[in-house]
A and B are shown apart, each in its own frame.
Chain A
């Protein structure tokens, strides 16, 4: 075991970690937008749209993320849409994260008892006011733990983007490995970096959760 040859590649590692974070944040943001839109559509009255969203969720939740990345990267060019690796991975991961987000956000909205909405209406609140003051705060609090743990899974899942040569952390590992031949050491370091990033996010989310929702609450 010899970690010394890896020392001179620290800049590549940092760059890779930054690309990983970019990919995670972009996919999470786009995925959440999809999730909110999808949850609203699931709650809406248009039956065909509801079926469309249902189909999307089942399709993306029941096939491997790796295959989804392959399809976006290798198949879309057949239709004249050639995306660079980073963009292709971001699209695939956004759709993957989006499929889970829809369910999480819908469950958050569903967790509010109907009687509370009616209570708000009795007080003469408008539809928007009911949503803003009665549904949204507890729905956010209930959905928050699931969204954050899904975010961490997304962070770890971005490693799959390496398979279409996105220059994120895991792909950097392959590059360093090919230069140094220290395979085990490289992946040990990479795993540590992912671990550090995941733990930092978990800590950050806990602090935010405590500040914003007094979460986790004692039973």
Chain B
């Protein structure tokens, strides 16, 4: 047992890089997949719509903690080889991000009126051109506030990687708390750092929402 010192303080901030890394990985792989899911959900082919809906339902109906453990222990079983824990965790966060962002973006796409697609078709634009130039810009505007809101969920969600031994912010908090016997100070500090990360995003999301509402 030792007292809480500057080193503990620094180690909490140093652990932030893993929190950030996990968020970046989840977004880098999850966002393209989410776009695919969202487009699949509004496609002409009923079977594709159903398949995408089923994928999203399954992922959204399982705890994030469950996804993490499932792939942590499952990746070696699926692949037949040992993989670094980081890969398993990235897969879990990617699917989590894809499922939630996919639904958010589908909502945005569906909120753009059908007539807008038809207007594009009348102008002789191809389906991709309609999407790219007419639908996507409007859908993006509508889905930006909830997308930023989800980012907050994702940042908070990375705390679960601590349970698989990743020394991100939450895990660093546990380590420091155990070493110093100062749970009050440590966890208050950890919560404060998460709060400082998330609050600006929450406020941004809210102001975006208000601005969109005002311009309607």
Enumerate chain A interface residues (CB-CB to B < 8 A).
1, 58-59, 61-68, 70-71, 74-75, 78, 152, 156-157, 159-160, 162-163, 170, 173, 183-184, 187-188, 190-191, 194-195, 198-199, 202
Contact = CB atoms under 8 A, between A and B. Distances in A.
Given A64-B159, A75-B188, A191-B63, 6 more contacts: A61-B152, A62-B202, A63-B191, A78-B184, A187-B66, A187-B74
Interface in B143-184: 152, 156-157, 159-160, 162-163, 170, 173-174, 177, 183-184
Nearest first, the 5 A-B pairs at minimum CB distance are A198-B61, A62-B198, A64-B159, A156-B63, A184-B73
Contacts of A68: 191
B190 interface: yes
B195 interface: yes
B114 to A, nearest CB: 11
A152 B202 contact: no
Given A66-B170, A71-B187, A156 B64 contact: yes
Given A58-B199, A66-B162, A159 B77 contact: no
A202 B160 CA distance: 25
Given A159-B65, A160-B160, A63 B73 contact: no
A190 B61 CA distance: 12
Contacts of A170: 63, 65-66
Contact of B202 (A58, A157, A195): A58
30 contacts: A58-B195, A58-B202, A61-B202, A62-B198, A62-B199, A64-B156, A64-B157, A70-B183, A71-B183, A71-B191, A74-B187, A75-B183, A78-B184, A152-B60, A152-B61, A156-B61, A156-B63, A156-B66, A159-B66, A162-B65, A170-B63, A183-B73, A184-B70, A187-B73, A187-B74, A191-B63, A191-B66, A191-B67, A198-B62, A202-B61
A199 B77 contact: no
A52 B62 CA distance: 34
B92 to A, nearest CB: 11
A184 B191 contact: no
Nearest to B158: A64
